[in-house]
Amino acid sequence: MPDYNTMSKRGRILVAMSGGVDSSVAAVMLHEQGYEVIGLTMKTWDYATSGASGKETGCCSLDSINDARTLAVNYGFPHYILDIRDEFGDYVIDNFVDEYLAGRTPNPCVLCNTHIKWEALLKRANKLDCEFIATGHYANIRQQDSGRYVISKGFDENKDQSYVLWGVSQENLARTQFPLGSFAKSDIRQMALDMGQEELAKKSESYEICFVPDNDYRAFLKHKVEDLEEKVAGGNFILSNGMVVGQHKGYPFYTIGQRKGLGIAFGEPMFVIRILPESNTVVLGRADELERREAMVRNINLVKYENINEPMENVITKIRYKDAGMLSTIVQEKDKMRVVFDHSVSAIAPGQSAVFYEGNDLLGGGFLC
């Protein structure tokens, strides 16, 4: 077996390997570029006790962990499994439950990426004497003249993942590489085929939350919070004028913009437009009542600039992952950002991420208030 300590031309790099096609190809790509690659797969969640139907989903299932290890063995580089279930549960899962109980719609993948995975990766990178870490995200990174590290959108618009990276700190970005940023997803699948990894190339992607069995967040909340249904059942559906129009199953089981599954019929489509946890009330309204011209954003992390002291125009603001974004003006107000959209946007959901772009560059982001 080759001795990578003597062979490495470009330094040692720790690669986060989920077992999927993206991170697997990223690891092999870096290996072939002359880096001394060490693979690391994080175990975030205990599938055996989660109440799942047996079908494991998400980025960190047991099958995925085994797939990552097999690939590393085949290419002759070390692979480790890091158990971060405690940190993940304390931070990501507790936050997920707390946010729904506060009437908001959480963004667990952003929290996991920015607060758990990067910290865990860098901590382990330091122990293994790795200069850099790498992930399979479709995004680009560069250092500008100011010294700041800037994330920009990946080449493949359909796969761009810069949206979930707004919370990564400058300190962490300084040691991060995104090998897939300049490739399309189809290129990566072809590379996997060229590597002889046919199964890997055909592997389907999961867009589900890894710790929510069968993508049923309501069942997950009931499983995690004792007697939740009894505590929240029987609240009122009201219209924006205060008129009571029915009863619901409990405010945590609804999200802003929801139309289906209300269990109540009207002569026209009605949507959830507000959630009031204090009174266990869900406000319904027409589509036009979901529209807003402004939003406030909290827990701001700025990436491209250290501060945005003046109102900044022509900023593209995305309020959900698959959102094309809307032209806006952003104004920093103490620890929050006010976003004034050029045109109305629909279904601004508190708890989701708002992410700001200057062209293809990520300015920063935060959580919608």
Whole-angstrom distance, CA of residue 61 vs CA of residue 58: 6
Q: What is the pLDDT of residues 305-339, one digit of tens each?
A: 999 999 999 999 999 988 899 999 999 999 999 99
Is residue 276 one of the residues assigned to a domain? Answer: yes
**CATH value at residue 359:** 2.40.30.10
112 assigned to active site = yes
Cα dihedral 292, 296, 301, 307 in deg (nearest 10) = 100
Q: What is the residue-averaged pLDDT of the chain?
A: 91
Residue 342 forms part of a structural domain = yes
Residues 98 and 188 in one domain: yes
Q: Cα–Cα distance between 244 and 283 in angstroms, integer?
A: 9
- At which of 187, 215, 243 does a domain end? 215
Would you say the C-alpha torsion 91, 96, 102, 104 has a positive or negative sign?
Answer: positive
Q: Is residue 16 part of a domain?
A: yes
Same domain, 116 and 246: no
Q: Measured between alpha carbons, how far is 76 from 1 in angstroms, rounded to an integer?
A: 7
Q: Which residue has the higher pLDDT, 149 or 51?
A: 149
Q: Which pLDDT value is given to residue 267?
A: 87
Q: How many domains in the chain? A: 3
In this structure, the answer to whether residues 356 and 257 fall within a common structural domain is no
Residue 172, domain member (yes or no): no
In the block, residue with structure tokens 């607060």 = 115
Q: Average pLDDT, stretch 120-131?
A: 95
Residue 21 pLDDT exceeds 90: yes
- Flag the least confident range among 6-15, 88-97, 143-152, 247-256: 6-15
At 285 the pLDDT is: 97
Same structural domain for residues 45 and 112?
Answer: yes
Catalytic residue among 59, 109, 130, 210: 210
206, 245: one domain: no
Is 58 inside a domain boundary?
yes
Residue 192 lies in a domain: yes
109 has catalytic annotation:
no
Same domain (yes/no): 341, 200: no
- As a whole number, mean pLDDT of residues 35-43 equals 95
pLDDT at 322: 85
Q: For the segment 225-243, what is each residue's pLDDT rounded down to a tens digit?
A: 999 999 999 999 999 999 9
Domain boundary among 189, 215, 241: 215
CATH of the domain at 90: 3.40.50.620
Are both 264 and 350 inside the same structural domain? Answer: no
**Which of 59, 60, 112, 130 is labelled catalytic?**
112
Confidence band for 341, pLDDT divided at 50, 70 and 90 = very high
| Final residue in a domain of this structure, among 215, 240, 259 | 215
pTM, two decimals, is 0.91
Question: What is the residue range of 264's domain?
Answer: 232-285
- Residue 141 confidence (pLDDT) above 90: yes
Q: Looking at the structure, do residues 188 and 265 belong to the same domain, yes or no?
A: no
**Are 193 and 55 contained in the same domain?**
yes
Q: Answer yes or no: is 324 within a domain.
A: yes
Q: Are residues 247 and 345 in the same domain?
A: no
Pair 23, 92 in one domain: yes
Is pLDDT above 60 for 152? yes
What is residue 128's predicted lDDT score, i.e. its pLDDT? 96
Per-residue model confidence (pLDDT) at position 49: 58
The CATH number of residue 264's host domain is 2.30.30.280
pLDDT tens for each residue of 200-228: 888 887 667 888 888 899 999 999 999 99
Let me know whether 187 and 314 are in one domain.
Answer: no
Residue 343, burial from CB neighbour count under 10 angstroms (0-12, 13-18, 19+): exposed
The answer to whether 119 touches 40, Cβ cutoff 8 Å, is no
The verdict on residue 163 lying in a domain is no
pLDDT digit string, tens, across residues 172-210: 999 999 999 999 999 999 999 999 998 888 888 766 788
